[in-house]
Amino acid sequence: MNSKTKSFKKSIFCADMRRFWSFSLAYGAAVFFGAFFDFYLNNTPYGNAVPYNFVNSRFFASSCIANFFGVIAGAVLALILFSYLYSTSSVSFYHGLPFKRKSIFISKLCSGIVLLLVPMIIVFAIIGITKLCGSYIQIRWLSLFYWFGNQVIYSLLAFSCVTFAAMLSGNILSLLAMGALLFISPAVIIGFIHMACQNYLLGYAYDPTNYFAYFYITPDILLFKARGIIYVIAIPILLIISYLMYKKRDLERCGEAVVFPKLKIGFVYFAGLLGGIFSYFYFSIWEYKSLLFVLPFGIAAVIIANMINRRAVTLKGSTKHIVIYTALILLMLGSFRSDIIGFEKRIPDTDKITSVSVLPDRYYTRRFQDNSDFYKITKDEDIKKVIEYHRHNISKTMEDMQFMPNNVEITYTLKNGRTVKRAYAVNFSEEKEYFEEIADLTQIKMVLYPIYNADNLEVLNIDLHNSLTDEIIYPNNPMSKELIAALNKDIENLPYEENAALLWNAVNLCTPLNIDIDYKDLSEKEQKPYGKSSIYFPISFGFTNTMDVLKKYGYYDRFMTVKNIESLGIDRNDDNKGSLTLKDDTVDEIITDPEKMQEILDTLQTTYRNPVWYNQGENEIYDEYLFLDKQGDIHTFVLYQR
């Protein structure tokens, strides 16, 4: 009687240990030798010369590999521990024992937890002892605990997901399918929602670079952030639900795809959902995107799922599901088109806003990308300017935004702590009357030109470059400080039409000069690997003080004139000549007159004044200008035509 009342059964636990200890050993060896041993081998030769932060960033990269092993191990272990559910003889054996189902489940669960955690504790101890014994590779304890916490969460989450799938499914094939769907469905569903909202809701802010953050197998969950907390909560919830399903599971349904009859209809529509999402992704390669793209593969998935439920190749019963599925998609489409929640026209009330940030689109590094306080506009009169610009964008349509060259992101921080974010495709070149006052705000200038008012930067070098030449200015050069001061003065008084960093994408990408600055941020408590970062921005001829400094130190002629140019070849690119040289048979025209070459160079270096646009499609029309300098090097400008 006693054996039936205890929840934990030592005999089942010990049997699992004897059967699967080798799996646990292989898991630990894979983590140590496949991730961390390689990390030690690759970093030991550098010794203490390796920057502290660099070592820990490399350790994080190795821990990503270990996390992946944890996901695989957790999933496989759940599969083999509960594989007996898919064999009639094994099911009869286990449930013929004098144990309650609760005891069997808890014993199996304990086996899985021990088999997953013990090897990781050993690996943690090895790395910790190596650190304590004076290893050259100084890993922070925080980094070590961070990895261990992630590893435990990932492995247990994968284990709980597959355990959940095992309780639902009646055969190994359906388990593999359901397990795989559980792995990918959160990311796929969230990604679909983002894409649909972006296509149908004007102003919806969507950053595709963050899409993979929704995969729980992505290593960077940051234990104490919301995503990590959700994962920690999900583990016991999935296991509790799994136990409840295990208690209610009909043993005679071994072999069926879904063992609970009432859940079979849910299986049909879940399959339709994922099939429809993949259909939407597939057909969205077309320029025109519609939510109706969900239907082809979605309906096919509904039919297949119905066949699996019936265990027969038949269309019987599919019609009803197809009609309901199609109606749900049409309802979703109507909801998006009518904007029933008022998303598009919502602008927060001024008295509820504490600050707002405006981020114009740009490719180059945003030095303060992660420091949201840096962008915040807090004055009421400035916030009202942003709101007026927001209203201007609301008057646009999705069709208006298809060919806009720029993007702008507006984020309101409300007094209740919430944020409202909107993103719009815009054309700053044509929207001067709406954006000029905003562009003149200090916060926007510091976004576009990160060197502006940046007293906390220690400049390491300044790289001036364009298509003609490249020069690096070091701090010991007297020109360095003058150049920084001139840049700041120009940015302070920069006319809207000369704001190359703002307007660069509205026109051709050529600007007369580009600047890269390597720096140390003295306000950072911990310096980045190798101790430096970089910022980049283009400048126009409107930077008059900067141009004067270049002239003073003899750099202007190298960047802005043809004094070092011997000849110019022009190719109209109306044929397929392949690789170009300055021979008559590969270019259409050769010019050697200095005045004509200078005139063409001036035009090319000021194309931001003369908007051009890329022809979409295969037949792009452009001219190539090849400048041959006196050293024999060729410098190429490309000018796209309308």
Q: Check residue 524 and give its pLDDT.
A: 62
Q: What angle do CA 533, 537, 543 make, to 5 degrees?
A: 130
Percent above pLDDT 90 for the chain:
25
For residue 49, pLDDT beyond 50: no
Greater confidence (281 vs 210) lies with: 281
Q: For residues 186 and 192, what is the distance between their CA atoms, to the nearest angstrom?
A: 10
Average pLDDT in the 113-122 region? 94
Average pLDDT in the 277-299 region? 88
Q: Check residue 225 and give its pLDDT.
A: 61
Q: For residues 343 and 204, what is the distance between their CA atoms, to the nearest angstrom?
A: 9
Give the confidence band of 347 by pLDDT, cuts at 50, 70, 90: very high
For residue 530, pLDDT beyond 80: no
One DSSP character per residue, 534-582 reads EEEEEE-TT-HHHHHHHHHTT-HHHHH-STTEEEEEEE--SS---S--S
Contact (CB, 8 A) for 433 and 427: no
Q: For residues 398 and 545, what is the distance between their CA atoms, to the nearest angstrom?
A: 41
Contact (CB, 8 A) for 565 and 637: no
Q: Check residue 371 and give its pLDDT.
A: 46
Give the confidence band of 348 by pLDDT, cuts at 50, 70, 90: very high
Q: Check residue 384 and give its pLDDT.
A: 92
Contact (CB, 8 A) for 355 and 418: no
506: which residues sit within 8 A by CB, 6+ positions away?
405, 406, 427, 428, 429, 430, 611
Q: Is 203 left (phi over 0), alpha (psi -120 to 50) or beta?
A: left
For residue 506, pLDDT beyond 70: no
556: which residues sit within 8 A by CB, 6+ positions away?
547, 550
pLDDT digits (tens, 9 = 90+) for 269-284: 999 999 999 999 898 8
The CA distances from residue 169 to 92, 93, 160, 303, 304, in Å, are 17, 19, 14, 19, 16
For residue 77, pLDDT beyond 90: yes
pLDDT digits (tens, 9 = 90+) for 141-152: 777 788 888 889
Q: For residues 99 and 583, what is the distance between their CA atoms, to the nearest angstrom?
A: 90
Q: Among 152-156, 175-179, 460-464, 553-557, which stretch is predicted with the lowest mean pLDDT?
A: 175-179
Q: Check residue 115 and give its pLDDT.
A: 95
Of 377-386, 442-451, 501-510, highest mean pLDDT: 377-386
Q: Check residue 585 and give its pLDDT.
A: 55
pLDDT digits (tens, 9 = 90+) for 154-185: 899 899 999 998 888 888 878 888 887 777 78
Q: Whole-model pTM?
A: 0.70
Of 50-59, 573-582, 600-609, highest mean pLDDT: 600-609
Give the confidence band of 500 by pLDDT, cuts at 50, 70, 90: confident
Tokens 């082809």 — which residue? 296
Percent above pLDDT 70 for the chain:
80
Please choose, from the candidates 112, 110, 113, the residue with its C-alpha nearest in 3D space to the C-alpha of residue 7.
Answer: 110
Give the sign of the dihedral formed by CA 217, CA 218, CA 223, CA 224: negative
Average pLDDT in the 545-561 region? 91
Give the confidence band of 618 by pLDDT, cuts at 50, 70, 90: very low
Give the confidence band of 382 by pLDDT, cuts at 50, 70, 90: very high
Q: Among 108-117, 149-158, 573-582, 622-631, which stretch is predicted with the lowest mean pLDDT?
A: 573-582
Q: Decide the pairing of beta strands 406-414 and 353-360.
A: antiparallel
15: which residues sit within 8 A by CB, 6+ positions away?
none
Q: Check residue 205 and give its pLDDT.
A: 83
Average pLDDT in the 541-561 region? 91
CA 300 to centroid of chain Cα atoms: 31
Average pLDDT in the 358-384 region? 67
Q: Check residue 361 and give its pLDDT.
A: 66
Q: Among 110-114, 181-185, 480-484, which stretch is predicted with the lowest mean pLDDT?
A: 181-185
Contact (CB, 8 A) for 508 and 608: yes
Q: Check residue 2 and give its pLDDT.
A: 46
Q: For residues 20 and 111, what is the distance between their CA atoms, to the nearest angstrom?
A: 9
Give the sign of the dihedral formed by CA 392, CA 394, CA 397, CA 398: positive
For residue 370, pLDDT beyond 60: no
* Secondary structure letter of residue 527 according to DSSP: P
The residues spanned by each domain of the chain are 2-256, 350-448, 457-557, 561-640
Sheet hosting strand 353-360, strand order edge to edge: 353-360, 406-414, 419-426
CA 265 to centroid of chain Cα atoms: 35
Q: Check residue 119 and give its pLDDT.
A: 93
